[in-house]
Amino acid sequence: MKDTSGAQVLGRTSLKRLGIVLVPTVAVAGVLGVMMANGAIAMSLAISGQTAQMTVGTLHGNGFAQYGGIDHDASYNPSAPKGSDLTPVAVSSFTSATITNGLCQSVTTDLGKLTGGLLGNYTLTLKADSATAQNLVIDLQSLNADEADFTTMNIGTDAGNSGGTPGLFAQTADSATLTGVQQVSNATTAGEFDLTGMSLSIASGSKGCIPATSTGN
């Protein structure tokens, strides 16, 4: 398959090392960032400025859409240059998704800001055996997958038909299956996110789910 500047593709497509967002990110705080999203709507989030890493064994999702978007940095300094609070993202959504063969999510935070420098970087890591989600909207910086298979894929559709800004480029598919996923994202919303075999831990250092030598980092 060609990249997003190529012609429209119909039918089943298999890709290697795919650089588009397809996987939900669980924001690590409180209820793990599971926020209500009324379907695949265009999001304009006030983000923290931090990113979360996620690795997934296998993801299968239905009702996929993807288009460009913008997030707003909540830590924006009004004296900074105009537009420096804007973060371009690849917005992707699924109406439903199932994750199997393991999930790992990590966020590294500088706790020195809260302790006057007494503590440094700490990484919060969430793991689960499997998960299911409904009405996912994901704001992504990068994604790599060993393989991605799509059914009835349409490239070059109007984003306005999928919840984005009318006139912008979008791509859609009836379903997608990805294996060996490594993702970095800014934020995610979901109507539901259910985890099986979940564990949560925090440890000093900046070691996340994605190896430092990985292209997904």
Residue 172: predicted pLDDT:
95
Q: What are phi and psi of 192, to 5 degrees?
A: -145, 145
In a domain, 216, yes or no: no
- Give the lowest-confidence range in 4-8, 18-22, 53-57, 130-134: 18-22
In a domain, 64, yes or no: yes
In a domain, 7, yes or no: no
In a domain, 123, yes or no: yes
Print the domain residue range for 90.
13-204
Q: Which of 141, 153, 145 is closest to 1 using CA atoms?
A: 153
Expressed in angstroms, the distance from the first to the final Cα of the chain is: 24
pLDDT band at 25 (very low <50, low <70, confident <90, very high): very low
Residue 33: predicted pLDDT:
31
Residue 145 has pLDDT above 90, yes or no: yes
In a domain, 69, yes or no: yes
Q: Which of 81, 28, 22, 19 is closest to 52 using CA atoms?
A: 28
The listed range with the strongest mean pLDDT (34-38, 159-163, 173-177) is: 173-177
Question: Which position has the higher pLDDT, 158 or 86?
Answer: 158
Q: Could you say which DSSP state residue 57 is in?
A: E
Half-sphere exposure of 85 (CA within 13 A, CB side): 15
179-188 mean pLDDT: 90
Residue 83: predicted pLDDT:
67
In a domain, 30, yes or no: yes
Question: Which position has the higher pLDDT, 34 or 158?
Answer: 158
Query: In terms of pTM, does the model score above 0.75?
Result: no
In a domain, 214, yes or no: no
Parallel/antiparallel/unpaired status of strands 46-47 and 52-73: parallel
Rounded CA separation 154/117 (Å):
51
In a domain, 5, yes or no: no
pLDDT band at 137 (very low <50, low <70, confident <90, very high): confident
Residue 76: predicted pLDDT:
59
As for how many domains the chain has, the answer is 1
Q: Which residues contact 128 (CB under 8 A, 6 or more apart)?
A: 99, 102, 103, 195, 196, 197, 198, 199
Rounded CA separation 98/104 (Å):
14
- Give the lowest-confidence range in 24-38, 58-72, 129-143, 150-164: 24-38
pLDDT band at 20 (very low <50, low <70, confident <90, very high): very low
Looking at the chain, how many residues does it have? 217
Question: Which position has the higher pLDDT, 137 or 212?
Answer: 137
